[in-house]
Amino acid sequence: MRCRVCRGSAAIEVKRHNAAFCGQHFIDHVRRQVGRTIHDHAMFGPDERLAVGVSGGKDSLALWDILHHLGYRAEGIYLDLGIGAYSQDSLSRVEAFAEERDLILHSVSLLQHYGFSIPDAAKATRRTPCSACGLSKRYVLNEEATRRGFDVLVMGHNLDDEAATLFSNVLNWNMEYLGRQRPVLPASDGLAKKVKPLIRVAERETAAYAVLAGIDYEVEECPLVGGNTVNRLKEWMAMLEHDSPGVTQHFLGGFFGRASHAFAVDIPDLHPCSKCERPTTGERCAFCRLQERAVT
């Protein structure tokens, strides 16, 4: 296998693009894909202040690295979920990453700032930890991004994550989630603008990018991942992709390009939560209700 650009020995094959690349040209290829996504969806401009939600995993650290190399002003926000050694190790990697590149990192501990951890929340709600975790990440990252005056909150969801989420939303015909599944969600009162520049980069490609770019990311999986149903769907989609390279991008790109407008939902009447004042449809927002149950 030869690199498409320099004809040198290839380090990685990207079947859906019918191409192979050496290490440096793969790095260039991924940065170009992300740059194109940012441009095509008018995600943000060079002068905007970006907050990247970082977990310590390959996707978010690769994204932060790419944004840095593309010349954007991106700071990181890390949420410590209180999942034992996994969270401690992830934080160390994010801190080392930021320090090596002289980047600004803001870290928030769910336990210290909000009085509970994800294992506490899972125990209190008797539901899979991932639903409490997803809700907490959305809430706290939005809270930090708006409170600190960032223009845009940038998330590291890759092509496979987004396609599996779409698959799940279609399987359940979840009209509200389908309406909100967009590469760009504009800002509204109390809610930061949210964008996903990795939607053209597959998971194995963010992993390869991270390795080739010398990023020391958290390789251990979260110990609570067992109940994550989107992960199961990802495995199924990986089998489809193996047999038909390109099917994942076709599915997701087709939705964004041709179908998502059909699911546009009116933003429900939002008003301030009686406790935290963040926008909600009920009297108290879902995060405050979770916190009430989880704090012991």
Amino acid identity of 195? Answer: V
Give, in degrees to the nearest 5, the angle at Cα 281 between 276 and 283. Answer: 55
Whose Cβ is closer to ligand SF4: residue 60's or residue 249's?
A: 60
Binding to Zn ion in span 166-185, by CB under 5 A? none
Contact segment (CB under 6 A) with ligand SF4 among 13-21, 126-134, 163-171, 246-254 equals 126-134
Q: Which two tokens stand for residue 72?
A: 């954007």
H-only helix segments in the chain: 23-40, 58-69, 84-101, 110-114, 118-125, 129-147, 159-171, 175-180, 203-212, 229-243, 247-254, 286-294
Residue from 49, 123, 137, 275 touching Zn ion (CB under 5 A): that is 275
Q: Which two tokens stand for residue 246?
A: 């390109």
Q: Which two tokens stand for residue 3?
A: 């690199």
Contact segment (CB under 5 A) with Zn ion among 120-128, 198-206, 252-260, 267-275 equals 267-275
Whose Cβ is closer to Zn ion: residue 197's or residue 279's?
A: 279
Binding to ligand SF4 in span 134-153, by CB under 6 A? 134
Q: Is 154 helix (H, G, I), strand (E, B) or coil?
A: strand
Binding to ligand SF4 in span 94-123, by CB under 6 A? 118
Answer for the pair 195, 44: CB distance below 8 angstroms, yes or no: yes
3 binds, among Zn ion, ligand SF4, none (CB under 5 to 8 A by kind): Zn ion
Amino acid identity of 207? Answer: A
What's the CA gap between 226 and 61, in Å, rounded?
Answer: 23
Answer for the pair 107, 94: CB distance below 8 angstroms, yes or no: yes
Establish if 265 lies at the interface with ligand SF4 (CB under 6 A): no
Establish if 290 lies at the interface with ligand SF4 (CB under 6 A): no
- To ligand SF4, the closest distance from the beta carbon of 228 in angstroms equals 5
Contact segment (CB under 6 A) with ligand SF4 among 163-171, 180-188, 224-232, 236-244 equals 224-232
Answer for the pair 43, 19: CB distance below 8 angstroms, yes or no: no
What's the CA gap between 100 and 192, in Å, rounded?
Answer: 28
Adjacent-strand bridge partners of 289: none
- To Zn ion, the closest distance from the beta carbon of 69 in angstroms equals 17
Residue from 74, 285, 290, 294 touching Zn ion (CB under 5 A): that is 285
Establish if 12 lies at the interface with Zn ion (CB under 5 A): no
Contact segment (CB under 6 A) with ligand SF4 among 152-160, 222-230, 257-265, 276-284 equals 222-230
- To Zn ion, the closest distance from the beta carbon of 285 in angstroms equals 3
Conformation bin of residue 246: beta by default, left when phi > 0, alpha when psi is -120 to 50 = left
Residue from 96, 225, 262, 264 touching ligand SF4 (CB under 6 A): that is 225
Answer for the pair 70, 35: CB distance below 8 angstroms, yes or no: yes
Establish if 3 lies at the interface with Zn ion (CB under 5 A): yes
What's the CA gap between 133 and 11, in Å, rounded?
Answer: 36
Whose Cβ is closer to Zn ion: residue 8's or residue 227's?
A: 8
295 binds, among ligand SF4, Zn ion, none (CB under 5 to 8 A by kind): none
Residue from 27, 67, 91, 130 touching ligand SF4 (CB under 6 A): that is 130
Q: Give Dmax (Cα) for the chain.
A: 62
Q: Which two tokens stand for residue 77?
A: 């926000």
Q: Which residues bind ligand SF4 (CB under 6 A)?
A: 118, 129-130, 133-134, 222, 224-225, 228
